[in-house]
Structure 1
């Protein structure tokens, strides 16, 4: 069975990406990050999803990006602003180069376990403000990974970065996730943490909009 490294934040996108990779017959090695984010709810969600999916391994890597902040997700002196689903500017929740860092670590992990596939659940459709969620970035990272790994540069065993939702809406992801049996009730999207989702931050509003468009109840709100 071929191995795949799946970036698992504990959120909606990464959970569907994991179940998609699983449906394609890959042995799943999930990778999550404790990067100094303002709450640990998403890490608890990632653990629950990995367990429910029966992954081969789940690694949690500590990377303290809060040492320099630059985002309301890693700097508690900054406020998480209320959401705006029509936003076109880069929001304060953008964590500088986060996906670049995460994919670099994923490439190291993949080469160490001889996995040729990496899955990441980014999309540029619903949220173009995040520059590291765009197809051109994913393609550039895949090229860099294969220039900087023995597997890619010397062994002719390139590592492929899959971003299956890069041109899909969240509603389309949710519809696919329902078909794949994704336990949406275990996922966490809220930027603010807490006992229940705030339902007012960007991530909560985008999630609500997507479930409404998909015509599916979000059971995470009724747990």
Structure 2
């Protein structure tokens, strides 16, 4: 092999049966600028530490939500789908930590119940890509470490997640199955119960707003992510902000 740069190949298990397309050469595995993160080498097993997963999950947790962060990195690919449903050539787009978010739709700001899949950047938790998993997404496990879904914005395109660790990929798949098994989470209509109809007919009394004296100062607060201008060369999300953007 010429040169010191190692070539990394996509697993041929990415596609099965008629979807087999051979092996695609990739000259780099990660889009994030720099091979090392925070001066530390990744775990030899490929699994992320609990601290790294907690950091990512904290970036997406909010009122009335459920968040699950995958315990390994994954490559994000995109492809166009032919008329017969066969995916074309997969193209690498990003690398990050897959995250599942169940928005229960029970807050004032978010009234619609839905499931999101996010690719978060390792080290910052910033979202590199996000989409909705609904009844038309057809989220599938095409191989042990490769999951596919149709994009909500264009069903003629597909996204694929290639996981680094089979066990972590299986854990993520089980969480997806658990969430999409509930019709309410994927925008499927279900018969309304008589109890819910009665509650809807009743006029809801507005709750009084708390006074300023009843609101405490922030407590149990902890910084989980800290970045500056010096990190632009290490993280893709910061490198793409542009030269005129100051984050200090």
Larger helix percent? 1
**Does the pair score TM above 0.5?**
no
TM, length-normalised to structure 1: 0.31
Larger strand percent? 2
TM, length-normalised to structure 2: 0.29
Return the index of the structure with the highest Cα Rg: 2
Instruction: Return the structure number with greater relative CO, CA threshold 8 A, min gap 6.
Output: 1
